A and B are shown apart, each in its own frame.
Chain A
Amino acid sequence: DAGVTQSPTHLIKTRGQHVTLRCSPISGHKSVSWYQQVLGQGPQFIFQYYEKEERGRGNFPDRFSARQFPNYSSELNVNALLLGDSALYLCASSSGGRGNEQFFGPGTRLTVL
Chain B
Amino acid sequence: GDSVTQMEGPVTLSEEAFLTINCTYTATGYPSLFWYVQYPGEGLQLLLKATKADDKGSNKGFEATYRKETTSFHLEKGSVQVSDSAVYFCALGDSNYQLIWGAGTKLIIKP
Partner of B98, one of A40, A48, A107: A48
Cross-chain contact A104 with B44 (CB below 8 angstroms): yes
Q: Name 17 extra pairs, CB < 8 A, besides A42-B101, A55-B96, A99-B51.
A: A40-B103, A41-B103, A41-B104, A42-B4, A42-B102, A43-B99, A45-B100, A48-B98, A50-B97, A56-B97, A58-B98, A90-B44, A92-B44, A92-B99, A98-B93, A98-B97, A102-B99
Residue of B nearest to A46 (CB): B98
Cross-chain contact B46 with A43 (CB below 8 angstroms): no
6 contacts between A and B (CB under 8 A): A33-B98, A45-B100, A98-B97, A99-B32, A101-B34, A104-B44
Residue of A nearest to B51 (CB): A99
Q: How many B residues, CB 8 Å from partner? A: 24
B residues with a Cβ closer than 8 A to A are 4, 32, 34, 36, 42-46, 49, 51, 89, 91, 93, 95-104
Q: How many A residues, CB 8 Å from partner? A: 26
Within 8 A of B (CB), among A66-110: 90, 92, 96, 98-99, 101-107
Expressed in whole angstroms, the Cα–Cα distance for A103 and B101 within the complex equals 15
Task: Give chain B residues whose Cβ lies under 8 Å from the Cβ of A31.
Answer: 97
A residues with a Cβ closer than 8 A to B are 31, 33, 35, 40-45, 48, 50, 55-56, 58, 90, 92, 96, 98-99, 101-107
Task: Give chain A residues whose Cβ lies under 8 Å from the Cβ of B49.
Answer: 99, 101
Report the minimum CB–CB distance from B4 to chain A (whole Å): 8
Expressed in whole angstroms, the Cα–Cα distance for A103 and B91 within the complex equals 13
Partner of B99, one of A33, A96, A106: A33
Task: Give chain B residues whose Cβ lies under 8 Å from the Cβ of A103.
Answer: 46
Report the minimum CB–CB distance from A12 to chain B (whole Å): 20
Expressed in whole angstroms, the Cα–Cα distance for A31 and B96 within the complex equals 13
